[in-house]
Amino acid sequence: MGLTLGVVAAAGLSLLVGIQPVTPADVVLALTAPAGRPADAVVLHLRVPRTAAGLLAGAGLGLAGAVAQGLTRNPLAGPEVLGVNGGAALAGVVAIALVGVGPLGGYVWFCFAGAALALGAVLAIASAGRDGATPVKIAMAGAAVSALLFSLTSAIVLRDHDLFERFRFWLVGSLTRADLPIVLQAVPFLAAGTVLALALTRPLDAAALGDDAARSIGARPALLRGSAIAAVVVLAGTATAVAGPVGFVGLVVPHAARALAGAANVRVLPLSALLGALVLLLADVVGRVVLRPEEVQVGVTAAVLGAPVFLYLLRRRRVGGL
Amino acid sequence: MTATVRAGRVSLRVEPASVLLGAAAWTAAVAVALHAVTVGDYPMPLSTVLDTLAGHGTLLTYDVVVRNRLPRALVALLVGAALGSAGMVLQRIARNPLVSPDVIGVGAGASAGAVVVIVVAGAGATAVAAGALTGAVVASATVYAVAARGAAHRLVLIGIGVTALANAAASFLLTRSDRYAAKQAATWLVGDVAGRSWPDVLTVAAGLAIGAPVVLLLTRHLRLLELGDDVARSLDGRIGAARAALVAAAVALTALATAAAGPIAFVALVAPQIVRRVLGPRSAGVLPAAGVGALVVVSADLAARRLFSPDELPAGVLTAAVGAPVLLYLLVLVSRRSG
């Protein structure tokens, strides 16, 4: 409950804070009785889409991270570590730059395909060998695949100035280019992913007991694995389509959720969605004020806030086999 | 098979196979580099190139050879050599094929440092080199401090975190610069030797001048360090100093190579591995690794220029495309061995 209020407050901040000054009264007026005032345009055309994009992308990443960590029982399995963000970004760039697919409704499918391929590759490589997919192997396979995807993406984007100019903010992870049509198109995809993820909470809890135990109480591990991977792909792929490849939110947020609510996925998953939205919005707001009058992209603030947490997690937990 | 060469008080154990591989790799690398100097929009026979280098060229051939293609080829050779030897040193010290400067965050730190200088000051080669060196030192110090005395895998994971942080810093700067500076820096971030000039040659040459003597003098300690800390210390009490000097040399080599050409991906990882595959586990010197590194970068650059003609790819894209699968293969291999 407190967290929901926190998200609402963060959304309020996100509407208020920015380069053009806007008062709370302006926001209320713009939302209830827009009349073409300059502040109305700022609120309706800039702040509202940006805030909505932050809410959706943050919730998607947080939820995707929680499902990925629940499925792999691996504390380092964030979507970015699994190569999902990198795969979605490369596929998005290919769709827009090479194939010429325009609106989100078109290229989001490419993002899904890219995310799925990258995730499949990382999981397959990490599972090879006798000891299976340990956290170390997943992280390293993800890093190698991501490095490859990054250089291919750069190779495409660097081909000409216009392409580079269109992508250089998106590729860092940014909410500034979000507009309402894109956000609205993202809603059904994220909703589908969320429903699928939330339907998995109990099977994921059962699977935490091990495949045999899960099977004995009626769960089907293969089906669960397939649906969980689909949920991660749809959630993280849509988030990337909206906000670019933002890192660390999906990795770090589920840890915070577990610290607050214990290990049961029934609580961790919804909490991760809320926390993800909160963290991404706050990271974006911080990026708007920290170097005024210029903005820092949300992907950068998220990494600067998230990477130390990642290092802390490594230091505190003797992560599997370390 | 080992031969021992003595000259006064200095004696050197020489592995013929290692020397042979080193010589072959260097010969091939120089041959590819010479070929690279002859091809391009204005192709010219090797004889013209050699005439020009001897001082008998026209103004045009001088411009093409001496001002454009030669520095590019030299940067590719020297950067490859620097990365290959730095990778060999770190992999042997850590006793883990996955620990190479780009995997543990040194390359990313160097890039971030250099991008800071490029974007903020727009400065020349010396300043960029200083920035790269600072970034590499900060990154390796961070990795070392967080890893404390952890295992090699831990080092690699922390390297991933530090890499992400350094990349975020670099991308942040990219978004704040104007579009032309940003594109220049972005191309550079992928790792490229196109358009390199003599100051870049000097930068990486300086790295080799600092790092290579240290590495060559202390190579014999690598054999000792490979036995593990405790054994090494019981055999030689001063081994700690040798290890610190070797790590510092590897960081300097990586940093100045990165300052000259950007973080050309996975060369430091792949070159020592090729050497060790060919020579077997017993002996793997630093000079062959340098030669193979040089060959890898020169060939990657030539391929990047020719394969997609008239477009050019940054050489770093090709080395990543080749190197990432190698890293993944090693990952599976290492876990299979320990499993």
Is the distance from CB of B339 to CB of A134 less than 8 angstroms?
Answer: no
pLDDT of residue B10: 53
pLDDT digits (tens, 9 = 90+) for A153-201: 888 888 777 778 878 788 888 888 778 888 888 999 999 999 999 999 8
Q: Provide the residue count of chain B.
A: 339
Q: Which of A131, A311, A319 is opposite residue B335, by nearest beta carbon?
A: A131
Please give the Cα distance from B294 to B298 (Å, whole number).
6
| Residues spanned by the domain of B239 | 3-337
CB atoms within 10 A of CB A239: 37
> Which CATH entry fits the domain spanning A1-316: 1.10.3470.10, 3.40.228.10, 1.10.565.10, 1.10.3720.10?
1.10.3470.10
Residue B329 C-alpha, separation from nearest chain A C-alpha, in angstroms? 8
Between the alpha carbon of residue A299 and those of residues B165, B320, B329, the distances in Å are 11, 23, 30
pLDDT at B160 over 70: yes
The Cα–Cα gap between A229 and A200 comes to 11
Cα A157 from chain centre: 22
Question: Is residue A114 within 8 Å of A237, Cβ to Cβ?
Answer: yes
Tell if the CB–CB gap between A296 and B172 is shorter than 8 Å. yes
Which of A188-197, B54-63, B76-85, B253-262 has the least mean pLDDT?
B54-63
* Residue B65 DSSP symbol: I
Is residue B313 within 8 Å of A143, Cβ to Cβ?
no
Average pLDDT over residues A232-243: 92
Report the residue from B182, B338, B339 with minimal CB separation from A168.
B182
Percent of chain A with pLDDT over 90: 27
- How many angstroms away from the CA of A24 is the closest CA of chain B? 30
Q: Is the complex ipTM more than 0.85?
A: no
Q: Distances from the Cα of B111 to the Cαs of A150, A198, B127, B333, in angstroms? A: 15, 41, 13, 30
Would you say B63 and B120 are in contact if contact means Cβ atoms under 8 Å apart? no
- % of chain B with per-residue pLDDT over 90: 32
CA atoms within 13 A on the CB side of B185: 30
E strands, chain B, in order: 3-7, 10-14
Q: Indicate the number of domains in chain B.
A: 1
Place of tokens 């309402």: A180
Length of chain A: 322
Average pLDDT over residues A29-58: 86
Question: Whole-prediction pTM value?
Answer: 0.85
The alpha carbon dihedral of A234, A239, A244, A247 has a sign of negative
Mean pLDDT of chain B: 85
Look at residue A322 and tell me whether its pLDDT is greater than 50: no
Mean pLDDT of A239-245: 90
Please give the residue of chain B at the shortest CA–CA distance from A151.
B317
Q: Residues 295..334 of B with a Cβ closer than 8 Å to A: which?
A: 311, 313-314, 316-317, 320-321, 324, 327-328, 331-332
B241 sits in which H/E element:
helix B239-261
Binned at pLDDT 50, 70 and 90, residue B293 comes out as: very high
Whether residue B43 has pLDDT greater than 80: yes
Domain of B242, CATH number, reads 1.10.3470.10
What is the helix, strand, coil percentage profile of chain A, to 5?
Answer: 75, 0, 25
Q: Which residues contact A53 (CB under 8 A, 6 or more apart)?
A: A175, A178, A182, A183, A186, A242, A243
Q: What's the confidence (pLDDT) of residue A158?
A: 80
What residues have CB less than 8 Å from A49, skipping those under 6 apart? A178, A179, A180, A182, A183
The residues near B206 (Cβ < 8 Å, ≥ 6 apart) are B129, B256
Are A70 and A265 in contact by the 8 Å Cβ rule? The answer is yes
What separation in angstroms does the CA of B132 have from each of A94, B137, B222, B277? Answer: 32, 9, 26, 31
What pLDDT sits at residue A317? 59
What phi and psi, each to the nearest 5 degrees, are found at residue B14?
A: -120, 130
Dist CA B61 CA B66 (whole Å): 8
Domain residue extents for chain A: 1-316
Which residue of B154, B164, B327 is in closest CB contact with A247? B164
What digits encode the pLDDT tens for the residues A121-142?
Answer: 998 888 887 777 777 788 888 8
